C-alpha cells in the first residue's frame, strides 16, 4: 500500500518508540479497556480466551477504529477538520470509561509531547493526538499505525498479567503471535474512511460499561 510520508529514518522509528513506550508518561498502565471486568466475570481466564479477546478488540473493535481516527487526523489539513475528527472519536467511545480513557491518554500525550517537540498540539482523543503529532513531525503514517496497535496490545497484555495467571513467557509468546495480525489490521484500517466506522466487539463494550460499577478494582477502566 502507498504510504503518506517518506520511508522511516532511524530517528523516526526511535521517536515513535519513545512516544509509545510504557515509560512515556501518559499513564497507559492505569487502563485495562474493560479487560478487568472480563476477567472478573470469567469471560477471560487463560491464555486461549485472552487471545480471542485481544483478537476481537484488534480486528473488530477499538483497535481498528482507533487507526482510522489516527489516519484521519494525520491526513486532515485544517483545524476544523481536526476538531471534527476528534469529536467523532469521542462520540464513538462506547461507554463513559472508554471516553475517559481516550481523553485522559490523549491529554497527557499532548501535554508531554507538545513542549518537548515544540508542537502546536491541543488536548485531543488519544489516537487523534498521536496522528496529529506524527503528521507535524513528518513521521510515516504506516509505521505510526502499526506501532500504535502493537503498543495497545502490549499494554493490554501487561494488564492481563496483573489480573490473571499469565506468565511473562506466555504473554510475550501471545504478543509475538498477534504481531502479524497487527500489521494486517493497521494497514487495512489506513484505507478505510471514517464513514465506514463499525464495531462488533460488543462484549468488550459491555465489559467497559460493567466495569464502571466494579468494586474493588485495580484499573481506571
User: Could you please report the per-residue DSSP string of 98-143?
Assistant: HHHHHHHHHHHHHHHHHHHHT-------HHHHHHHHHHHTT--HHH
Residue 123, pLDDT score: 95
pLDDT at residue 199, as a whole number: 76
CA distance to 22, 151, 189, 220, per residue, from 29 (Å)? 7, 11, 25, 9
| pLDDT tens readout for residues 150-171 | 999 999 999 999 999 999 999 9
**Mean pLDDT, the chain, whole residue set:** 91
Q: What is the pLDDT of residue 196?
A: 81
Q: Tell me the pLDDT band of 195, cut-offs 50, 70 and 90.
A: confident
User: Which pLDDT belongs to residue 159?
Assistant: 94
**Whole-angstrom Cα distance, residue 79 to residue 88?**
14
**Residue 52 grid coordinates:** 480471542
On whether the CB atoms of residues 45 and 176 are closer than 8 A, the answer is no
Give the pLDDT band of residue 201 (cuts 50, 70, 90).
confident
Per-residue pLDDT at 43: 93
Cis peptide leading into residue 194 (ω within 30°): no
> Residues 17-38: what's their mean pLDDT?
93
Could you tell me which residues come within 8 angstroms of residue 8 by beta carbon, excluding any fewer than 6 positions away?
Answer: 139, 140, 143
Q: What integer pLDDT is reported at residue 2 of this predicted model?
A: 42
Question: Coil, strand, or helix at residue 94?
Answer: coil
CA distance 103 to 90: 8
pLDDT of residue 5: 52
Specify the pLDDT at position 4: 54
Residue 8 has pLDDT above 90, yes or no: no
Percent with pLDDT over 90 in the chain:
75
CA 211 from centre of chain: 19
85: pLDDT confidence band, cut at 50, 70 and 90?
A: very high
* Banded pLDDT at 3 (limits 50, 70, 90): very low
Instruction: Give the model's confidence band at 210: pLDDT under 50 very low, under 70 low, under 90 confident, else very high.
Output: confident
Amino acid at each position: 500500500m502507498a504510504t503518506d510520508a517518506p520511508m522511516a529514518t532511524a530517528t523516526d522509528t526511535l521517536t515513535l518508540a519513545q512516544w509509545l513506550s510504557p515509560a512515556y508518561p501518559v499513564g497507559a498502565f492505569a487502563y485495562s479497556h474493560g479487560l478487568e471486568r472480563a476477567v472478573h466475570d470469567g469471560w477471560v481466564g487463560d491464555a486461549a480466551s485472552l487471545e480471542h479477546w485481544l483478537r476481537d478488540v484488534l480486528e473488530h473493535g477499538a483497535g481498528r477504529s482507533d487507526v482510522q481516527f489516527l489516519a484521519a487526523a494525520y491526513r486532515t489539513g485544517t483545524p476544523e477538520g481536526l476538531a471534527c475528527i476528534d469529536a467523532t472519536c469521542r462520540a464513538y467511545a462506547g461507554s463513559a470509561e472508554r471516553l475517559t480513557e481516550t481523553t485522559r491518554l490523549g491529554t497527557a500525550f499532548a501535554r508531554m509531547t507538545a513542549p518537548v517537540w515544540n508542537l502546536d498540539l491541543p488536548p485531543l482523543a488519544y489516537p487523534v493526538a498521536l496522528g496529529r503529532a506524527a503528521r507535524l513531525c513528518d513521521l510515516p503514517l504506516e509505521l505510526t499505525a502499526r506501532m500504535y496497535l502493537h503498543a495497545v496490545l502490549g499494554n493490554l497484555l501487561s494488564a492481563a498479567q496483573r489480573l490473571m495467571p499469565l506468565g511473562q513467557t506466555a504473554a510475550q509468546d501471545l504478543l509475538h503471535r498477534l504481531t502479524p495480525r497487527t500489521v494486517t489490521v493497521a494497514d487495512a484500517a489506513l484505507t478505510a474512511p471514517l464513514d465506514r466506522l463499525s464495531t462488533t466487539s460488543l462484549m468488550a463494550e459491555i465489559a467497559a460499561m460493567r466495569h464502571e460499577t466494579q468494586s474493588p478494582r485495580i484499573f481506571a477502566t
